[in-house]
Amino acid sequence: MLVYDIEHLTKTYPGQAQPVNCEISLQIQAGEIFGMLGDNGAGKSTLVKQMANLVQSSSGKILLFDQLVGKDPLLVPRHVGYMPQDSLALNNLTLGEALYFTAHLRGLSRAAARQERDRLLETWQIQDLRHKTSRQLSGGQKRLLQLAVAMAGSPPVLILDEPTNDLDPVRRRQVWEILRRENHELGTTIIFITHDALEAEKIIQRVGILHAGKLVALGKPVDLKSGIDQMLRLELFFSPEEPPLLPDGLTPHVLDTGRWLVYIERLRAGEVLNSIDLDRVEDFRLYSATLEDLYLYYAHN
């Protein structure tokens, strides 16, 4: 089943000459985990706001479950939980109150809303913050509150604008794990924007890459990767005083002091690894093109 069907979508803000996004067409299927990557100012946030009916499109159309977004003001709220990029201040509500009221306003009974509040507090491990108002929370804690609020009442679609911003690595991993579980257990369609491409790769099923307001790539990461190159990445970590010797024909790209990235052909991988003096290497990592490589390729070519 098609959740979103977007055709030739363009948005130009009043007073601006250039469109923020231009002629975007894409479809998102039910139960899909769809990631959006792109530079700052590429038009990602505007696009998801258009999808959440918070920004009116200049041209083109968005269908949500076959109905035109914008026609019925309750269409999006009846199906979508939206998490904005900015740190939302929920007035003077405590975290527990915000979850309870959101769940209740999303149609749960009062008893079920209380259960939902407790479930979300436990899921996100934020029970100790329950009586704090959003003003008293740190940036990362506010992000968790926003995620929990977006999920309250289990809407069938989640749109999350940079869900892992401000979070430490442990919490970031927790976010991806919870989203994967939400998708797997409830079949929730998840659409999100992220700059955390390496971590997000673990759950993304399909990706759209925006550059300068245009959708420059769309598809499964594996398909898009095969389109860019077949090179493997060999990352080498070593003591700066004693760099390893590389076989002829390989050029290292310096990533940092004592850290190189070397591109090698798949067929030569074994030969290259055998020829490197591992006594001079403290650690190494061999991998194929990542989602980040994909993003860098499309955003800069």
What's the CA gap between 87 and 166, in Å, rounded?
Answer: 10
Total residues interacting with another protein, rule: CB under 8 A: 44
- Rounded (5°) CA angle 241-244-246: 145
149 near another protein, judged by CB under 8 A: yes
Q: Which helix (H) or strand (E) holds 275?
A: helix 269-275
Nearer to another protein, 144 or 294 (CB): 144
Is residue 142 within 8 Å of residue 87, measured between CB atoms?
Answer: yes
Scan residues 27-66 and list those touching another protein (CB under 8 A): 30, 49, 52-56, 65
Contact between 14 and another protein by CB under 8 A: the answer reads yes
Q: Which residues pair with 231 in a beta bridge?
A: 265
CB 13 within 8 A of CB 120: no
Binding of another protein by 77 (CB under 8 A): yes
Q: Is 154 in the site for another protein (CB under 8 A)?
A: yes
> In angstroms, what is the minimal distance from the CB of 172 to another protein?
22
Q: Give Cα 190 to chain centroid, integer Å.
A: 9
Which residue stretch of 77-85, 137-145, 169-177, 261-269 sits at the interface with another protein (rule: CB under 8 A)?
77-85
Token pair of 82 as six digits: 């939206």
Q: Give yes or no for residue 112 binding another protein (CB under 8 A).
A: no
Q: Which residues contact 179 (CB under 8 A, 6 or more apart)?
A: 33, 158, 160, 163, 190, 192, 203
The nearer residue to another protein, 153 or 244, going by C-beta atoms, is 153
- Nearer to another protein (CB atom), residue 59 or residue 226: 59
Tell me which residues touch another protein (CB under 8 A): 1, 13-14, 30, 49, 52-56, 65, 70, 73-74, 76-82, 84, 86, 88-94, 97, 101-102, 104-107, 133, 149, 153-156, 186
